[in-house]
Amino acid sequence: MKQRVLTIEDDPAIRRGIVDALRFAGYEPLQAGDLPEGLKLALHREYDLLLLDLVLPRGSGFDILTEVRERRPTLPVIILTARGEEADRVRGLHDGADDYVVKPFSVKELLARVEAVLRRSPARASDLELLDMPHGEVDLQRREVKLHNGQQVEISQLEADLLRYLACNSKRAIAREELLENVWRLSPQGLSTRTIDMHVARLREKLGDDARHPRVVVTVRGKGYKWAVGDE
């Protein structure tokens, strides 16, 4: 699967150049041009690296950086800054950015920094292999559920991806629309999210999770689903 890079940059020409370069280099680009749309993508889409301009319409890139570091502490971030803004570069690194690129920059330099940051970053969500449950474990690599009573059940790749996404975002409830976008890779517009409910129901059965009183994948009323293992 291609690595995804989210670019939040207000200048359309610069953003288009970055997106084209990323696509040509084999990455899957996501993009936004202002703070509200950028923050929405940064917090609710699945991606491997963030390219973040600090000067944005309707807000500051520092606001996005703060939110991302709180919700996704290991996500790699490269900030994009104008020449001479040393104070912003220092603040960005202090606030958790992994690297910075000074405008104007060459495509080669940008891609080299993207590759370097991704190479030295911690394991991403796609590397998660084992999930512990109160009554067993899930081997995401082998796509097997092993219960303490000795029962073993196979799960599909889609079910494994769904569990991985929920577990990697375990601090919050995940909306059905977000699951469609990031697990099914479908736009939720015009689609019924009932398919999510049916998949969760089948998955709970395979996990040995009581449908009436689930302890692993729980329903959060009005919000979506949540990986509940480890909750108090």
Instruction: For residue 229, give every residue at least 6 positions away whose Cβ sits within 8 Å of its Cβ, in sequence order, or none.
Output: 131, 132, 133, 134, 167, 170, 215, 216
pLDDT of 169? 83
- The β-bridge relationship of strands 4-8 and 28-32 is parallel
In this prediction, residue 232 carries a pLDDT of 56
| Across 9-17, average pLDDT | 95
Domain with CATH 1.10.10.10 in the chain: 128-227
Is the domain covering 128-227 a CATH 1.10.10.10 domain?
Answer: yes
Lowest mean pLDDT among 33-47, 94-108, 115-129: 115-129
| Block residue for tokens 């509940």 | 228
pTM score, whole prediction: 0.60
Query: pLDDT by residue (tens digit) across 17-44?
Result: 999 999 999 999 999 999 999 999 998 8
Q: Where in the chain is the domain with CATH 3.40.50.2300?
A: 4-125
Of 66, 79, 209, nearest to 135 (Cα)? 209
Tell me which of 3.90.1010.10, 3.40.50.2300, 3.40.50.20, 3.40.50.300 is the CATH number of domain 4-125.
3.40.50.2300
Using the structure block, give the residue that is written with the tokens 């092993």. 146
